[in-house]
């Protein structure tokens, strides 16, 4: 019996995927569990395995092609079995945009013409993964001929070009008579136009929706984390490496249990009071940002928080994080302190009522009694949805969080049984 292989739907909001590379050729034997091909979504790269046995009779989607979910990509069956007449792959379905005020979209740029004598090169057809790799390796994709379907440039073309790339021609001296006289802001001064990556498009859509639909305000407090820094250094010397973010996540999870409104969600008409705390942690990846989710974080101790957050962040940066590990958060934490950022306000992740922005810990002079002392101070900024959280509640939440961080030994104790409060 012939079995169709469909493009999977890795996440609830995923409507299309790019087939990056085939691991099986037509005629190859296939066993259950064999990897057939790899796909790319807007956030991750995943392997697609076979659920049937036989041989790969035909491949219908080429490497580098983007198709809608549930598109037939191939057929598996027994040698000689007739293959159903292949219908053209459906066009990728548009990603449904959340309800938001209409904003006039900029007119699309005119399509580039093919290269003519003395003219500019046409934009190459290139897969998203190959485009990112070209940027990383410094390969000019416009100079390549693709080996993918219809001449599409795929990852192997970029890697091959990187190994034999000739030296770039010298750039004309600005003072040379041959150098073009370009006024600041001209097209030549701006550089080559490049399309926004799918990940950045999703980020743009979600953050625009957040800013347009939720009335957001920010509240900041300074936290004396001297004892926390000292405890962290003691643990590090003893062989236990915990981060400041680990302590913040544990403290935030416990504060959210005490003030569940900050863990809730509204659409402007109703409120969903969530019974579980699923902490989101913003993680920077090569082409953008993803939020990894630590489920039931209020029941995790410091060591468990550290191990889980480290594992999820590593998978996100490798592009191997499953979609269900990037959805369902109820409250998000974003830490830029490791980059020297003292204070900032983040936009609320859609579907949540608040987000916590963590700045750097720095030594500052503070008043202690009638004198001055040097303490480690860290600033926390809570951005909240004013439909649910008012200024007084935001202040109480931050004060509760500050108290927990200023007593780091209490955060090391086993999380109390909270089932009675749920």
Task: State how far the Cα of 166 lies from the Cα of 237, in Å rounded to an integer.
Answer: 49
Contact criterion met (CB below 8 Å) for 254 and 295? no
Task: State how far the Cα of 141 lies from the Cα of 148, in Å rounded to an integer.
Answer: 13
Neighbour tally for 238: CB within 10 Å: 8
> Hey, which residues are catalytic here?
386
3-state secondary structure 33-94: CCEEEEEECCCCEEEEECCCCEEEEEECCCCCCEEECCCEEEEEECCCCCCCCCCCCCCCCC
C-alpha 16: how far from chain center = 17
Total count of residues recorded for the chain: 422
Which of 37, 32, 29, 79 minimizes the C-alpha distance to 60? Answer: 37
Which of 4, 10, 411, 421 minimizes the C-alpha distance to 243? Answer: 411
Contact criterion met (CB below 8 Å) for 38 and 92? no
C-alpha 122: how far from chain center = 30
Where residue 388 falls (left for φ over 0; alpha for ψ -120 to 50; beta otherwise) is alpha
Task: State how far the Cα of 75 lies from the Cα of 320, in Å rounded to an integer.
Answer: 26
Q: Six-digit token pair at 259?
A: 């003030």
Task: State how far the Cα of 253 lies from the Cα of 401, in Å rounded to an integer.
Answer: 9
Contact criterion met (CB below 8 Å) for 275 and 256? no
Secondary structure E strands in 109-264:
216-224
Contact criterion met (CB below 8 Å) for 63 and 22? yes
Say if residue 282 is exposed, middle or buried (CB neighbours under 10 Å; 0-12, 13-18, 19+): buried
Neighbour tally for 92: CB within 10 Å: 17
Contact criterion met (CB below 8 Å) for 360 and 337? yes
Task: Give the orientation angle of helix 391-405 with respect to helix 244-258, to 10 degrees.
Answer: 130
Q: Six-digit token pair at 412?
A: 């090391």
């Amino acid at each position: 019996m012939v079995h169709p292989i469909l493009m999977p739907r890795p996440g609830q909001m995923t409507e299309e995927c790019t087939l990056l590379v085939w691991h099986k050729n037509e005629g190859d034997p296939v066993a259950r569990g064999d990897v057939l091909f790899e796909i790319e979504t807007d956030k991750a790269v995943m392997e697609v395995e076979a659920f049937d046995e036989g041989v790969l009779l035909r491949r219908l989607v080429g490497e580098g092609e983007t198709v809608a979910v549930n598109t037939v990509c191939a057929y598996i069956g027994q040698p000689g079995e007739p293959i159903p007449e292949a219908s053209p792959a459906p066009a990728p379905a548009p990603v449904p945009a959340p309800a938001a005020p209409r904003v006039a979209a900029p007119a699309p740029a005119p399509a580039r013409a093919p290269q003519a004598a003395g003219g500019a090169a046409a934009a190459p057809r290139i897969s998203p993964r190959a485009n990112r790799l070209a940027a990383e390796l410094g390969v000019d994709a416009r100079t390549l001929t693709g080996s993918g379907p219809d001449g599409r440039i795929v990852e192997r073309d970029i890697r091959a070009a990187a190994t034999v790339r000739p030296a770039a021609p010298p750039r004309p001296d600005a003072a040379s008579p041959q150098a073009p006289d370009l006024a600041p802001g001209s097209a030549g001064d701006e550089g080559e136009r490049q399309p926004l990556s799918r990940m950045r498009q999703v980020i743009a859509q979600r953050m625009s929706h957040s800013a347009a639909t939720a009335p957001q305000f920010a509240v900041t407090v300074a936290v004396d984390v001297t004892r926390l820094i000292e405890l962290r250094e003691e643990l590090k010397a003893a062989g236990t490496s915990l981060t400041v973010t680990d302590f913040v996540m544990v403290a935030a999870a416990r504060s959210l249990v005490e003030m569940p409104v900050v863990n809730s969600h509204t659409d402007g008409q109703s409120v969903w009071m969530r019974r579980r705390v699923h902490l989101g942690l913003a993680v920077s990846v090569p082409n953008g940002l993803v939020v990894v989710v630590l489920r039931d974080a209020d029941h995790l101790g410091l060591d468990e928080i550290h191990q889980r957050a480290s594992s999820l962040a590593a998978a996100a940066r490798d592009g191997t994080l499953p979609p269900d590990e990037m959805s369902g958060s109820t409250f998000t934490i974003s830490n830029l302190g490791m980059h020297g950022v003292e204070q900032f306000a983040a936009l609320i992740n859609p579907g949540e009522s608040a987000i916590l922005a963590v700045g750097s810990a720095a030594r500052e002079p503070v008043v202690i009694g009638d004198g001055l002392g040097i303490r480690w101070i860290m600033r926390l900024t809570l951005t909240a949805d004013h439909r649910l959280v008012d200024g007084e509640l935001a202040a109480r939440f931050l004060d509760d969080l500050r108290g927990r961080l200023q007593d780091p030994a209490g955060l090391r104790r086993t999380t109390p049984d909270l089932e009675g409060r749920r």
